[in-house]
Amino acid sequence: MYKSEQLAHNLRLLIDNGTWPAHSKLPSLRQQAQSSGYSLMTVMNAYQELEAQGLIYAKEKSGYFVAEHLSTQVPQTYSVVSLNPKIEINSQVFKYLKSTQHQQIVPLGSAFPDHQLLCPSKLIQIMGQLARNRKNYEQSSNLPPGNFALRQLIAQRYCMQGITTDADDIVITSGCLDALNLSLQAITQPGDYILLQQTIFYGAWQAAERLGLKVITIPEHPQHGFDLEAFEQVIQSYPIKVCWFMLNAHNPIGFTVSDEIKYKIAKLLHQHQIHLIEDDVYEELFYGSKKPLPMKYFDQQNLVLHCSSFSKTLGAGFRVGWVYAGKFSEHIQHLQLMSTISANSLIQNALVEFLSHHHYEKHLRGLRRSLEKHKKQFYLYLKQHLPVGCEIFNYASGYFLWIKLPDHVNSIEIYEDLLEQHIGVTPSPLFNILQSQQHFLRINCSFEWHSDIAHALDQLSQSIQNHLKLRQITHSA
């Protein structure tokens, strides 16, 4: 760890434990350097680090102050539990995904990290070697539940987090979305009630629409990310068959729910015997020193189906993911053999080589460092350039920033405006179907800083300004 990271870490602890409450003034750079023994440059880097994470903010000529606790502050959704009887999101998602595929587009709307950061050369080298041997294309040993050695390696990663797992618990799938879809299909029948977070990856809405499920949603909690009270209220009032939650590095908002809340969720799931499909596809992209625990860790009764993949760390094109399926393993394999069959054999074999020689850990360390650095650059630039009334939600993980637009500025209009200029962003109606929640945007910040990026962010600010002006004119007319 660099000295500035160590200092930032120590200061973050003081903020987290309330020693420095919101809006209290931090020691000046000089005072901090004197009291900590670090150089002025190290202190400045540490403060900038905390600023980029949204934990402190600078006031001109006054110094640094503790922000409202951003890592635990989530956009207020002003909504109670809602029943969403008819979901029609698939065509909207299709249109959106098509629109972002254009080669010339600045891909700030992409769901994947910059491909320059993925697919490390060691993996390319391994694939090159294996590709020359016919035996590596052989399918039978890679059919459901998937390559045994790969399942063992994935099981070991769970064990490293204190989750007892063996290869038989794991089913290899064609990416995380396949794992999520198969899990939902294995547990539900058309017409069943499922419970989602109100703002959630659009894959959950699509799956519910496709399987004809009734969706109840709970709002995000403004401090904790997850609203335990609303959760308890729903599971007491509705016959929920399964929940689909994302509690680590939430997409699109970014928050990670505390272990204490995860423990309480697990307890309630046990009491009511409800299954949980856990989407943990960003589990490796944390910036702190410890990987956040999944809900699977707190699950004593095998109610949680934990889903993840290598898409966000090595490349979405590999299409290799998995589900910790436990007792659902057989059922999921049946469904798999009727649909996606299996993940690619050559890639499964290559991943075994790559993971067994610790190349993955080394790659992950570099990837996390780059994502943190890039997101910080985006954050600082946006903070300076976005019009007044915008709010940026920034968390210490992943590569997204979630931006609240000024009241009444519609994110779809901004998205369409930018698309004409070949700039992609993701508007909130893809994640949240409530009419009242259309004024958020997700920005992918994984890219190396570049003049094209600065230009795209300037265009974003300009577009918001234009919409604000238009509103003022229409209101005053």
Ligand X SMILES: Cc1ncc(COP(=O)(O)O)c(C=O)c1O
Enumerate the H helices of 386-432 as residue ranges: 411-420
Residues between 391 and 420 that touch ligand X (CB under 6 A):
none
CA angle 102, 90, 216 (to 5 degrees): 135
Based on CB atoms, which residue is closest to ligand X, 277 or 468?
A: 277
Which are the contacts of 60, defined by CB distance < 8 A and separation ≥ 6? none
Based on CB atoms, which residue is closest to ligand X, 158 or 399?
A: 399
Based on CB atoms, which residue is closest to ligand X, 81 or 281?
A: 281
Q: Is 49 helix (H, G, I), strand (E, B) or coil?
A: helix
Taking a C-beta distance cutoff of 8 angstroms, is the pair 375, 357 a contact? no
- Which residue from 49, 227, 279, 284 is in contact with ligand X, where contact means CB under 6 A? 279
* DSSP symbols for 304-351: EEEEEESTTTT-GGG--EEEE-GGGHHHHHHHHHTTT----HHHHHHH
- Which residue from 109, 113, 175, 427 is in contact with ligand X, where contact means CB under 6 A? 175
The residue written with tokens 């469904």 in the block is: 335
Based on CB atoms, which residue is closest to ligand X, 199 or 251?
A: 251
The residue range among 88-96, 169-177, 254-262, 438-446 that interacts with ligand X, by the rule CB under 6 A, is 169-177
The residue range among 37-45, 171-179, 353-361, 456-464 that interacts with ligand X, by the rule CB under 6 A, is 171-179
Residue 280: CB minimum distance to ligand X, A: 9
Question: What is the bridge-based pairing of β-strands 400-404 and 240-245?
Answer: unpaired
Taking a C-beta distance cutoff of 8 angstroms, is the pair 272, 239 a contact? no
The whole-angstrom separation of Cα 29 and Cα 228 is 40
Number of residues this chain uses to bind ligand X (CB under 6 A): 14
Residues between 284 and 313 that touch ligand X (CB under 6 A):
309, 311
Based on CB atoms, which residue is closest to ligand X, 26 or 343?
A: 343
- Which residue from 150, 153, 177, 194 is in contact with ligand X, where contact means CB under 6 A? 177
- Which residue from 176, 230, 303, 335 is in contact with ligand X, where contact means CB under 6 A? 176
Residue 121: CB minimum distance to ligand X, A: 22
* Helices vs. strands in the chain: H and E counts, helices first: 15, 16
Based on CB atoms, which residue is closest to ligand X, 67 or 281?
A: 281
Residues between 148 and 167 that touch ligand X (CB under 6 A):
none
Residue 120: CB minimum distance to ligand X, A: 18
Which residue type, as a one-letter code, is found at position 317? G
Which are the contacts of 287, defined by CB distance < 8 A and separation ≥ 6? 53, 368, 371, 372, 396, 397
Residue 308: CB minimum distance to ligand X, A: 8
- Which residue from 145, 203, 292, 427 is in contact with ligand X, where contact means CB under 6 A? 203
Which residue type, as a one-letter code, is found at position 385? H
Based on CB atoms, which residue is closest to ligand X, 201 or 231?
A: 201
The whole-angstrom separation of Cα 371 and Cα 53 is 12
Based on CB atoms, which residue is closest to ligand X, 47 or 226?
A: 226
Paired strand residues for 221: 225
Name the maximum alpha-carbon separation found in the chain: 73
- The yes or no reply on residue 281 touching ligand X (CB under 6 A) is yes
The whole-angstrom separation of Cα 270 and Cα 161 is 21
- The yes or no reply on residue 371 touching ligand X (CB under 6 A) is no
- Which residue from 201, 205, 399, 415 is in contact with ligand X, where contact means CB under 6 A? 201
* DSSP symbols for 369-438: HHHHHHHHHHHHHHHHHSPTT-EEE--SBSSEEEEEPSTT--HHHHHHHHHHTTB--EEGGGT---GGG-
The residue written with tokens 């150089």 in the block is: 39
Taking a C-beta distance cutoff of 8 angstroms, is the pair 88, 97 a contact? no
Which pair of tokens denotes residue 439? 């004024």
Which pair of tokens denotes residue 89? 């999101």
Based on CB atoms, which residue is closest to ligand X, 32 or 181?
A: 181
The whole-angstrom separation of Cα 82 and Cα 437 is 13
- Which residue from 32, 147, 206, 251 is in contact with ligand X, where contact means CB under 6 A? 251
- The yes or no reply on residue 111 touching ligand X (CB under 6 A) is yes
Residues between 62 and 101 that touch ligand X (CB under 6 A):
none
Based on CB atoms, which residue is closest to ligand X, 231 or 400?
A: 400
Residue 183: CB minimum distance to ligand X, A: 12
Question: What is the bridge-based pairing of β-strands 240-245 and 193-197?
Answer: parallel
Q: Is 84 helix (H, G, I), strand (E, B) or coil?
A: strand
Residue 375: CB minimum distance to ligand X, A: 16
Residue 245: CB minimum distance to ligand X, A: 11
Q: What does the per-residue mask of binding to ligand X show for 313-342, with x meaning CB under 6 A? A: ---x----x---------------------
Based on CB atoms, which residue is closest to ligand X, 248 or 411?
A: 248
Residue 112: CB minimum distance to ligand X, A: 7
- The yes or no reply on residue 445 touching ligand X (CB under 6 A) is no
Based on CB atoms, which residue is closest to ligand X, 227 or 279?
A: 279
Residue 179: CB minimum distance to ligand X, A: 8
Based on CB atoms, which residue is closest to ligand X, 32 or 110?
A: 110
The whole-angstrom separation of Cα 29 and Cα 39 is 9
Which are the contacts of 34, defined by CB distance < 8 A and separation ≥ 6? none
φ/ψ of residue 254, rounded to 5: 115, -15
Name the site residues for ligand X (rule: CB under 6 A). 111, 175-177, 201, 203, 246, 251, 279, 281, 309, 311, 316, 321
